[in-house]
Amino acid sequence: MDARLNLFGNAVGGKFLRYINSAGKVVADSTLPAATQELVKIRASQINGCGFCTDMHTKDATHAGETAIRLNMVAAWREATVFTDAERAALELAEQGTRIADAAGGVSDEAWANAARYYDEDQLAALVVLIGLINTYNRVNVIVRQPAGDYQPGQFG
């Protein structure tokens, strides 16, 4: 299976990806815990049906030391006991921020207040832009049907 378009080999697509990768570095360098970042990216990618991003972020998380149990439970995080309250708040915010079209009011005040209990203002900013960023990556990859399964941790530097 091949992608419909090689975004990296296209001048416009490549330039865009370099810009959003730079934005991703801002989040990666923030004080938002790295494990939380990966969990959020995995959950949004699952919701959006982005196999490429799900593959990438589960492999990156595994490479960083995340356990198989926690990775296997991301889709069912509400029923899982393996996540901290802070991670659960981030996952809820990620779900509501990803499913904006499904929710009449967007992100609820309750989800926001719960996240604000665990994350400071800079971490909340990182969480918000991370949710927006991973949704952008998901949509781009789903549109071009980027194949999944061959990603190697660190492949994109």
Q: What is the CATH number of domain 11-144?
A: 1.20.1290.10
Tens digits of residue pLDDT in 32-82: 999 999 999 999 999 999 999 999 999 999 999 999 999 999 999 999 999
Tens digits of residue pLDDT in 77-134: 999 999 999 999 999 999 999 999 887 778 999 999 999 999 999 999 999 999 999 9
pLDDT for position 134:
98
Tens digits of residue pLDDT in 22-31: 999 999 999 9
Reference 29, options 98, 117, 125; nearest CA is 125
| pTM score | 0.95
pLDDT for position 101:
84
How far is it, in rounded angstroms, from Cα 28 to Cα 44? Answer: 17
Reference 60, options 41, 83, 85; nearest CA is 41
Q: Residue ranges of the domains in the chain? A: 11-144
Other C-beta atoms closer than 10 Å to the C-beta of 108 total 13
